[in-house]
Amino acid sequence: MKLKYFLISFFLFLFNIVSSQLMITEVYFNTPFNEKLWFSKKENGVATGEFLEAYKHHRGEFIEIYNYSDKDIYLNNWYIQDYIGTFRLPHDKLIKSGQFMVIAYSTIHTQPPYLTEFPALFPTTAGKESQIILQDQIILRNKHENVKLMYSFNGFSAVNKSEVRWEYRAEPPTNFVSNVWMHPNEFYAVNSIQYNPDPNFNNTQNNDGDTYNNYKATPNPLDATYKPAIQSYESLVMNDFQDNYAYLDWTDNVTDLVDKTCPINIETVSQPADTSDTDAGHNCFSYDEAGNMVFSADCSGKSAPLSKMSSGYSADELEAIKNSIIISPNPTKASDSYNVNITWSGPALDKINNIQIFNSSATTVYGFSPGAGVNTTSFNLQNQLPGSFVANFTLSTGQVISKNILKW
């Protein structure tokens, strides 16, 4: 009884998908090819001649994936995994919106005649070679297997996006057909596991305790009877990015983009005090050749040495001002109606002369000049494209602090 319960629970998530853009829609694992699972010839313990007969058993196996987002997707960071193998999908391969791709087993590390030409086994795929990916890292087992479509974030965390599992108590009956390569239509006589949104087709358990997908049908590589509905790419990936990139401090990382400095020396151009009118207040200014003000100071009625003038806020003071500026919610999303609130207090109070928000095209989408005592402003990004925005805060000294705002 314990074993039966285990087998039932093991298949609760057959053809499971979780906020994915791609999913597995078909798996073909018990082929009619050679069922000889041993090595034919060996010399000094090394397989030779007919090569490894065991590998022939897996010719014709394939895993089909489908892009049900409304955007074309490159397959970098995607990979297929089973109990013992991993195959990373080609990073430069593009799967279009509403398009299928087949990952087919092939002994691609050997020389002809052992190279499997997938369209020769499944003639309906002829002319669609650009949608066929050959691999020899994933070998599907007939008795039990767990095939996962995984996505890796930054090469660290990985998320299981779609999976297909099956479990038989005993090895399933053979589908072997003699000389099947001469009769490729025989491959269509062996049913494959296929996606079906009807929960009644999720899994079945027979009297022998075997658990398997109840929807098996004639193989249909690069097509499907049932397809997931096309969905918005942004809505599919939003939770992933929030869950897997939440550790990033967007307000700090923007400095790498906005405040990038070149390792060159720029001559400082100074303006000493005008002493012709000793009764009027005067400021001394210093600029670099790019026109950026380095500092200003009150030097009324006298010429003060520039080395003794104030050079604006120190690095620590600027950091304190920056930390006291709060942008929320960040990222902003549909559930927030794309509203953004900026508040500042403490070290930043009465030190901000101007606020400008720029989109990725360097176009100003919002501007605000706070008066004395003002410490908050709000704006809306509803009509802006999703992406990154830069908030520039110009201080009373002419120095600029930048922060990043994200819109999903």
Last residue of some domain: 244, 273, 288?
Answer: 244
Are 286 and 375 in the same domain? no
The residues that bridge with 293 in the sheet, in sequence order, are 287
Res 292 pLDDT > 80: no
Distance of CA 362 to the CA centre of its chain: 25
324 CB neighbour count, 10 Å cutoff: 16
**Interval 217-238 mean pLDDT:** 91
User: 209 and 94 in one domain?
Assistant: yes
Q: Are 216 and 192 in contact (CB under 8 A)?
A: yes
Q: Which position has the higher pLDDT, 408 or 357?
A: 357
DSSP 89: P
Q: How many domains does the chain have?
A: 3
What digits encode the pLDDT tens for the residues 73-130?
999 899 999 998 999 999 999 999 999 999 999 865 444 444 557 898 999 999 999 9
Q: Residue 148 is part of a domain; what is its CATH number?
A: 2.60.40.1260
**Same structural domain for residues 267 and 239?**
no
Instruction: Please indicate, yes or no, if residue 253 is contained in any of the structural domains.
Output: no
Which range among 40-49, 171-180, 267-276 has the greatest average pLDDT? 171-180
Same-domain pairing of 197 and 300: no
Residues 268 and 203 in one domain: no
Does residue 240 lie within any of the structural domains? yes
For the residues of 204-237, what is the DSSP string, one character each? EE-TT--EE-S-EES--TT--SS-PPPB-HHHHH
Q: Are residues 212 and 321 in the same domain?
A: no
Same-domain status, 302 and 319: no
Q: Is residue 81 part of a domain?
A: yes
How confident is the model at residue 194, as a pLDDT? 92
Tell whether 180 is covered by a domain. Answer: yes
Domain stops at, among 252, 281, 311: 311
Confirm if 133 and 221 have CB atoms less than 8 A apart: no
- Cβ-contact 192, 27 below 8 angstroms: yes
Flag whether the pTM goes above 0.85.
Answer: no
Q: Is residue 95 part of a domain?
A: yes
As a whole number, the mean pLDDT across the chain is 77
Cα dihedral value 145, 60, 25, 89, nearest 10:
80
- Say if 251 falls within a structural domain: no
Task: Judge if 302 and 322 occupy the same domain.
Answer: no
> Do 307 and 332 lie in a common domain?
no
Domain of residue 202 covers: 2-244
If asked whether residues 210 and 291 sit together in one domain, one would say no
Q: Are residues 352 and 208 in the same domain?
A: no
In this structure, are 359 and 268 located in the same domain?
no
Q: Which residues contact 254 (CB under 8 A, 6 or more apart)?
A: 388, 390, 402, 403, 404
